[in-house]
Amino acid sequence: MHRSLLCLCLSLSLLLTSCYEDRIGCLDGDATNFDLRADQPCPDCCEYPELAVDVDHFFGAESFNFDSTYLDGAGNAFRVTRLRYYLSDLRLGTLSTTLDEPENLTELSLIDGADTVTAVVNADVALITASSGSARTLGRLRVGTEALTQVQCMIGVSDDLNQVFPPSASSSSPLSTQPGLLNFLDGQGYVQGRLEYILVNTSDTLSVSWFGNQTVTLPFGGELAPLRGFDLTLEMAADYAELLGRVNLSADSATVATALSARMPDLLTVTGVR
């Protein structure tokens, strides 16, 4: 009797083993679809969370708005009609390393002499407009397991994206042709920033663009445990008193552009992460 029961159990065990199939799924803990029950990794099924930035706009302690009159560094009263600038190449940092930039692979045309060539580029770039505080998504990221302490970002467009031909980008892309033009197709690439403003005392309507890019490191003010598999939004504050309130906006455009470019690294701070 016992021998028959043992044989039956062995037979059932072999049958169940032969019927079992390995579960294939995403085994990367950074993915939004991480499957703890999977036995084998899938080749290309992992989906990763998004990194975004959400910038609030201030002039000193007050919220910034286009209806207000401000004083520049020389005491000139002015009003801003439009202010835009680019952020790109954001890289989260830990105490020991800097993570890879978020991924937003996009097929675009690149300027090559008098012609263009098609290429897939990492378009991890955001266009910040001083009138809007909505979040801008840069791409998908993997945060790893170490505590996050800072973000390194480029103010302006990274060098590899400066060759993009704007009409080749979709209308929703920050690299597309923008109202007021942010890429003049003159060999300089995209502007770092563009300011349009009115000098109140003379009623002069002026605009100035400045070019190039600058890398800045913005600390979080503490260690942040990585939320693996979840979207991440960096909350930032832009203080335009540090930018516009410290230059002479009545100077010639070249002087103003140089002064604004020099002030850009002091513009942003990280206020939170969500």
Of 228, 233, 229, nearest in space to 52 by CA = 233
Give the pLDDT confidence score for residue 8 in this predicted structure. Answer: 46
Confidence band of 6 (pLDDT split at 50, 70, 90): very low
Mean pLDDT of the region 59-72: 96
Give the pLDDT confidence score for residue 53 in this predicted structure. Answer: 97
Determine the number of helices (DSSP H) and then strands (DSSP E) in the chain. Answer: 2, 16
- Count of residues in the chain: 274
Give the pLDDT confidence score for residue 38 in this predicted structure. Answer: 73
Top pLDDT among 30 and 38 is at 30
The residue assigned the tokens 């993009």 is 164
pLDDT tens digits, one per residue of 265-274: 999 999 999 9
Mean pLDDT of the region 127-146: 90
Quick one: which H or E segment has residue 206?
A: strand 204-211
Angstrom distance (rounded) from CA 88 to CA 171: 18
Tokens, residue 171: 């209308």
pLDDT tens digits, one per residue of 112-135: 988 999 999 999 999 999 987 778
pLDDT greater than 60 at residue 11: no
Mean pLDDT of the region 47-71: 96
Produce one character per residue of 223-237: b if its CB has 16 or more CB atoms within 10 Å, e if not.
Answer: ebebebbebbbbbbe
Cβ neighbours for 105, distance < 8 A, ≥ 6 positions apart: 120, 121, 122, 123
In this structure, are strands 105-112 and 115-122 parallel, antiparallel, or unpaired?
antiparallel
At 124, the amino acid letter reads D
pLDDT tens digits, one per residue of 194-233: 999 999 999 999 999 999 999 999 999 999 998 899 999 9
Distances (CA, A) of 167 to 101, 182, 183: 25, 12, 11
